[in-house]
Amino acid sequence: MLTLGCARNEVDSEELAGRLAGGGWELVDGEADPDVIVVNTCGFVESAKKDSVDTLLAAADTGAKVVAVGCMAERYGTELAESLPEASAVLGFDHYPDLAERLGDVVAGHAVASHVPVDRRTLLPISPVERQQAAAEVTVPGHAWGPRIERKRLDDAPVASLKIASGCDRRCSFCAIPSFRGSFVSRLPDEVVAEGAWLAAQGVRELVLVSENSTSYGKDLGREHAGDRALEAVLTRLAAIPGIDRVRVSYLQPAETRPNLVRAIATTPGVADYFDMSFQHSSQPVLRRMRRFGDTDSFLKLVGQIREHAPAAGIRSNFIVGFPGETEEDFAELVRFVTEARLDAVGVFGYSDEDGTEAEDLPGKLDADTVAARVARLSDLVEELTAQRAEERVGSEVVVLVERLESEEDDCAGRAAHQAPEVDGECVLVAGGPVEVDDLAVGDLVRCRVVDSEGVDLLVEPLELLPRTAPGPA
């Protein structure tokens, strides 16, 4: 099984692996000679789609049968199948419960009808409070948890993603995700906590909560599940699971991030003081064209609230540069926000048209050279500012989860609370403290002193190996 795209896809792949194992299939590594290769594709932006097609073609070159699943397969279905005959089948989310049988058909040489795309927002009621019962009749990837465990871990890393919701009700003009991921639907808190406990029993010490929009969690669950404070409540429960040392939230919408949620993330023991904020821009006119809310001053106020509770909190975001109609004044406003906010990690992306989105037809498109120039200017600025932010941490103490041991090619490294997996910097453990680096193991939690920085990465000396709490029953 090959997985492309985001952490949400990784959760979906582990669910699919569990379903396939339950259906009699054996998962093999890349060195083996498989009968079939399942590619969990990404269909978010053009570069991701290209990566998915390239991976499907490379898989077909092995001689194995190839099956495409995931977002690109869901989004394009029959169109993808017609343009990519190398794939033996293109299956959508509704095929997931019967994937073991469909793979059997593929290996046996039987034709499997390709997925026919639909707007998945039409599959659930418009009213969020009416969705929970209806969602039981709709396949929602990453939500299959119950008496029979449907998830199988695909690695032994001490950190794992945990899906708390799927879909999105927002209508951002540049984003097509709701059309193929569907309307927003939360997972029940007891189910989320049960899966968190199961992950702890597998050796996981950090849970990363993922969704398309975590700040909407619970809006479809009703008052019996803590109402508009459902996310704070489930965070507290997850942080109390024996064996779990850190819970991290991702994908927060600034316009929906309330003061009580800021306080809960910044101050709840066991919850990382880390804020993955989806700002996208800060110029009010650009945000309105994006069908989003906020402006530079309101976003700076939010950043101030976060740092009032936790001055060392990690804050990251992504920004789209060159959106249709973006003027030099709009870009200057974004530069002002980035300069004053002093974020810890920033992704900068140049705007490009996306199939089926409102922005595709907006006037005021900027030429490619202008977009590229603004991307370069902002990228250079954030590289300097994030490096300064990391340098300010020299002399402080951080708690590092070790994820990689020293070898000829790599250092011993891990992440502190202000660093999320893959997207942010890391902590490189160096000799000099009372704990020997060579004595550490993957999964250790270590109190460290920051002695230097390299860009967004920190060099840290290990001071104390923190005790590991035994996980409870799964």
Q: Are residues 126 and 111 in the same domain?
A: no
Q: How far apart are CA 248 and CA 251, in angstroms?
A: 10
Instruction: Mark whether 154 and 281 lie in a shared domain.
Output: yes
Same domain membership, residue 236 and residue 138: yes
| Torsions phi, psi for 155 (to 5 deg) | -150, 180
In a domain, 473, yes or no: no
| 143 plus 109 within the same structural domain | no
Strand order in the sheet with 89-90: 2-3, 36-41, 65-69, 89-90
Whichever domain contains 293, its CATH number is 3.80.30.20
Task: Give backbone dihedrals phi and psi of 328, rounded to 5 degrees, phi first.
Answer: -60, -35
Annotated binding site: 6, 42, 71, 168, 172, 175
State pLDDT tens for residues 31-71. 788 999 999 999 877 888 899 999 999 999 999 999 999 99
Cα–chain-centroid distance for residue 280?
Answer: 16
Residue 193: CB atoms within 10 A of its CB come to 17
Which amino acid makes up residue 451? V
Domain span at residue 10 reads 2-117
User: Using CA atoms, how far apart are residues 240 and 200, in angstroms rounded to an integer?
Assistant: 11
The answer to whether residues 5 and 34 touch, using CB atoms and an 8 Å cutoff, is no
Look at the chain and report how many structural domains it folds into.
3
Which domain CATH number covers 445? 2.40.50.140
Query: Is 133 found in the same domain as 260?
Result: yes
Domain boundary among 64, 99, 117: 117
Phi and psi at residue 400, in whole multiples of 5°? -110, 130
258 and 311, same domain (yes or no): yes
The whole-number pLDDT of residue 354 equals 92
Shared-domain flag, residues 212 and 92: no
Tokens of 353: 């048209």
Residue 92, beta-bridge partner list: none
Q: Is residue 40 part of a domain?
A: yes
In a domain, 472, yes or no: no
d(C-alpha 470, C-alpha 201), whole Å? 9
- Structure confidence at residue 222 (pLDDT): 83
- Same domain as 71, residue 11: yes
Query: Is residue 471 situated within a structural domain?
Result: no
**pTM for the model:** 0.95
CB-based contacts of 297, cutoff 8 Å, min separation 6: none
The pLDDT of residue 17 is: 94
In a domain, 250, yes or no: yes
pLDDT for res 390? 97
Among the three residues 362, 392, 422, which one is the final residue of a domain in this structure?
Answer: 392
Q: How far is CA 464 from the centre of its chain?
A: 30
Residue type for position 443: G
Residue 91 lies in a domain: yes
Query: How do the residues of the chain divide into helix, strand and coil, expressed in percent and rounded to 5?
Result: 40, 20, 40
Both tokens of 393, joined, read 């941490």
Which residue positions form the known binding site for [4Fe-4S] cluster? Answer: 6, 42, 71, 168, 172, 175
Measured between alpha carbons, how far is 81 from 73 in angstroms, rounded to an integer? 8
Kindly state whether residues 207 and 346 are assigned to the same domain: yes
pLDDT of residue 12: 95
pLDDT value, residue 85: 93
- What are the beta bridge partners of residue 431? 433
Per residue in 414-465, pLDDT (tens digit) is 999 999 998 889 999 999 989 999 999 999 999 999 999 999 999 999 999 9
* 384 shares its domain with 402: no
CATH number at residue 69: 3.40.50.12160
Amino acid at 332: A
Q: Are residues 282 and 171 in the same domain?
A: yes
pLDDT of residue 409: 64
Q: Is there a domain that residue 229 lies in?
A: yes
Looking at the fold, whether 257 and 154 belong to one and the same domain comes out as: yes
Last residue of a domain, one of 335, 357, 392: 392
**Residue ranges of the chain with pLDDT lower than 70?**
146-149, 408-409, 473-474
Q: Give me the pLDDT at residue 336, please.
A: 98
